Amino acid sequence: MDDTQLLRYNRHILLPQIDISGQQKLMQATVLIVGLGGLGSPVAMYLAATGVGRLILVDSDLVELSNLQRQIVHDSTQLGQSKAVSASQKLQRLNPTIQIVASQQHLTEDELDRQVEAADVIADCSDNFNTRFALNAASVRHSKPLISGAAMGFKGQVSVFLPAYAESPCYHCLYPATAEEEAETCSQVGIITPLVGVIGSIQAVEIIKVLLNLGQSLCGKLLLFDAYTSEWRTIKLHKDPNCPVCNNVMLESIKKLSKSAV
């Protein structure tokens, strides 16, 4: 690490839980961020400021005026631009030392698999169930941590799924319904501006912890925030033994274990 990096990341390096070795690990990490909207904005900005070495940004939408109320990685000069490109410009100014890859296409399953395979952690900052289920399935297939956030109205939630651990639930265990019932979106019900900042910031904290294997993650828990009543709640999540997404993986590992026991 050179002098400017030591200075830039000084307040991180001061933390004994992170130190130079932790910061170096972050600088070598790759995070896939899907969705550069309300949640993706704080996630991407904090990870860029943190010095995460490589950020892959995926969003096929364009910046619209109604986005600017909460999607703070974009600004009024970027209206009509691709969100992935707009965000990458802002993030590169924030931290020119990191590598940013902007993907403005809707990813096919093959492309998603490639991106997930290349990433250390996946940040689900999307706003629809189709994307959420596709990301979850890819996370389980490649055994990559998935940090999932959602926010609408006055309520938000965060959870962490670690498919490398046999006891970790997956997103589908939490929401077994199919994507047919399309979720309500912020465009239909509205959202209080800083709520996405609260939820996205927690996602960024959890991503750093997972990358460095620090503290206790939100794996097996769902953290809920109600901005209207200022209440936080944590509920336990359990793996669904009949989950069609993560159950097969569990069976595979049991098979492997029993084989090695023989």
Tell me the catalytic residues. Answer: 186
Minimum distance, C-beta of residue 146 to Zn ion, in the bound complex (Å): 11
List the one residue out of 219, 193, 220, 197 whose CA is nearest residue 206. 219
Measured from the CB atom, the residue of 83 and 172 that comes closer to Zn ion is: 172
| Residue 121: strand pairing partners | 31
Residue nearest to Zn ion (CB): 243
The residue behind tokens 């793996």 is: 239
**Among the listed residues 172, 208, 210, 225, the single contact to Zn ion using CB under 5 A:** 172
Measured from the CB atom, the residue of 6 and 166 that comes closer to Zn ion is: 166
- Is residue 132 a contact point for Zn ion (CB under 5 A)? no
**Hey, what amino acid is at 197?**
G
151 to 170, contacts with Zn ion by CB under 5 A?
A: 170
Neighbours of 261 (CB within 10 A): 6
Minimum distance, C-beta of residue 174 to Zn ion, in the bound complex (Å): 8
The residue behind tokens 């709520």 is: 195
Minimum distance, C-beta of residue 218 to Zn ion, in the bound complex (Å): 16
- Is residue 243 a contact point for Zn ion (CB under 5 A)? yes
- Is residue 173 a contact point for Zn ion (CB under 5 A)? yes
* Window contacting Zn ion (CB under 5 A); options: 69-77, 96-104, 214-222, 236-244: 236-244
Measured from the CB atom, the residue of 20 and 166 that comes closer to Zn ion is: 166
Angle among Cα 69, 30, 67 to the nearest 5 degrees reads 10
Q: Can you tell me the distance from the alpha carbon of 12 to that of 61, in angstroms, rounded to the nearest whole number? A: 34
List the one residue out of 144, 158, 157 whose CA is nearest residue 206. 158
Measured from the CB atom, the residue of 87 and 243 that comes closer to Zn ion is: 243
Minimum distance, C-beta of residue 41 to Zn ion, in the bound complex (Å): 28
Residues binding Zn ion: number (CB under 5 A): 6
| Residue 48: strand pairing partners | none
Q: Can you tell me the distance from the alpha carbon of 183 to that of 181, in angstroms, rounded to the nearest whole number? A: 6
24 to 63, contacts with Zn ion by CB under 5 A?
A: none
For 55, phi and psi rounded to 5 degrees?
-115, 130
The contact set with Zn ion (CB under 5 A) reads 170, 172-173, 243, 245-246
